[in-house]
DNA sequence: GTTGTAGATGCGATCATTCGCATCTGAAGC
DNA sequence: GCTTCAGATGCGAATGATCGCATCTACAAC
């Protein structure tokens, strides 16, 4: 489990305060955004609300559609930019599950990953512990902090391997 | 090192012959394509030629531009479709290094991967052996054959971590 | 509460990628 | 060589995602 708002965003100039603790619900979303030097705009709160209402693995367009129902003036670009910001902040994870569309999900629970079969399209959940060796190697060899929040690994499942 | 033409493509109906050996040059590209039930069209050979002429990490548009110099009638869609086919065949690897553009490279030598710092944009090469634990776990737990040809892992490099 | 301003938004243009469909063609069978 | 047709291509439209820039606004300072 990780903090809700993890790190500073690229262009943040002032020093970033430390991260709010994990495991809380988002009653005070606005304050959390402010606490890391981010503005709490209605558009951003709408994006977060959309995630809370809906399930996982939303596309940008699905989020935009949900928001438009309540606030028709919110722009598509803003949704994309907000998603980019939240991704950089570690609030959400971005994944390309194939099919040419990226999907997003809140990072408020255990990270998980997917094995995607490019023959039959089947998607298998993969526990996060499998990625520990990579994080460790990146840190030990290069001092690099790998932020692998929601990885999609392509390949072929056991059934399609048998088809050859 | 892996075979040049690795596996069948999704929609191949006939049984696929085995893979041609690695480590050869591409004098007989056309025959290799045919040997796995793929058509050797001039457009496809042009795409492969573009890779051989140029360096690594080409974008679809760069490939298209190179081909257009020689054959102005080749269509952009064809380049995209050819890249998709070659990716599924394991001939090339597709990677999103950030910046909203995908890049492609031939898989005729050692696979390698990248650590991409999302603060400063720095790109660090990562050896393929780091990914072995993932391949093993996917195989052992789920019988899944993970084809990780050119992975980009985002995070923060040692210098940007110190900046906080 | 007013003000100043860095940063966020709206808007439209543009770029990256995919799709549908009519046409064309590589290569297998004769 | 000729025929056949699954599969590849060209073309244009549609979708997904990003960018430039003028305007607006959240919020810090007073």
On whether any CB of chain A is under 8 Å from the CB of B88, the answer is yes
Q: How far apart are CA A158 and CA A117, in angstroms?
A: 9
CA B125/CA B116 separation, integer angstroms: 9
Q: Which of residues 6-45 of A touch B (CB under 8 A)?
A: 7-8, 10, 15-16
Interface of B with A in 99-128 (CB under 8 A): 115, 117-119, 124, 126
How many A×B Cβ pairs under 8 Å? 102
The whole-angstrom separation of Cα B19 and Cα A121 is 23
- Structural domains of chain A ordered from first start: 1-109 (1.10.10.10), 111-164 (3.30.1490.190)
Quote the tokens at residue A42.
Answer: 């209605």
pLDDT, tens only, A104-117? 988 877 788 999 88
Distance in angstroms, CA of A27 to C1' of D24?
27
CA-to-CA distance for B55 and B58, rounded, in angstroms? 7
Cα–Cα distance measured from residue A56 to residue B48, given in angstroms and rounded to the nearest whole number? 39
CB A113 within 8 A of CB A95: no
Contact state of B143 with A161 under an 8 Å Cβ cutoff: yes
d(CA A156, CA A118): 6
Residues B9 and B91 sit within 8 Å (Cβ to Cβ): no
Residues of B in contact with A133 (CB under 8 A): 130, 133-134
**Residues whose CB falls within 8 Å of the CB of residue B83, separated by 6 or more in sequence, listed in order:** B47, B60, B63, B92, B94, B104
- What's the confidence (pLDDT) of residue B4? 55
Number of residues assigned to chain A = 164
Interface with chain B: mutation pick from A84, A117, A129, A155, highest number of B CBs within 10 Å: A155
How does pLDDT run along chain B (164 residues), one tens digit per residue?
Answer: 344 555 444 333 333 332 233 333 444 678 888 988 899 999 999 999 998 877 778 999 999 999 999 899 999 999 999 999 999 888 899 988 877 789 999 887 778 899 988 777 788 999 999 999 999 999 999 999 998 988 999 888 888 876 54
């Amino acid at each position: 489990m990780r903090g809700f708002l993890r790190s500073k965003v690229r262009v943040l100039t002032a020093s970033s305060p430390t991260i709010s603790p994990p495991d809380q619900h988002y009653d005070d979303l606005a304050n959390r955004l402010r606490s890391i030097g981010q503005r709490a705009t209605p558009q951003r709160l709408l994006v977060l609300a959309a995630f809370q209402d809906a399930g996982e693995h939303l596309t940008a367009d699905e989020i935009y559609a949900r928001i438009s129902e309540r606030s028709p003036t919110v722009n598509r670009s803003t949704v994309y930019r907000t998603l980019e910001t939240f991704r950089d902040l570690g609030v959400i994870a971005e994944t390309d599950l194939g099919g040419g569309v990226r999907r997003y999900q809140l990072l408020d629970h255990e990270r998980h990953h997917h094995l995607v079969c490019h023959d039959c399209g089947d998607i298998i959940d993969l526990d996060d512990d499998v990625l520990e060796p990579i994080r460790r190697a990146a840190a030990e060899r290069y001092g690099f902090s790998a932020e692998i929040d929601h990885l999609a690994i392509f390949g072929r499942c056991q059934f399609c391997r048998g088809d050859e």
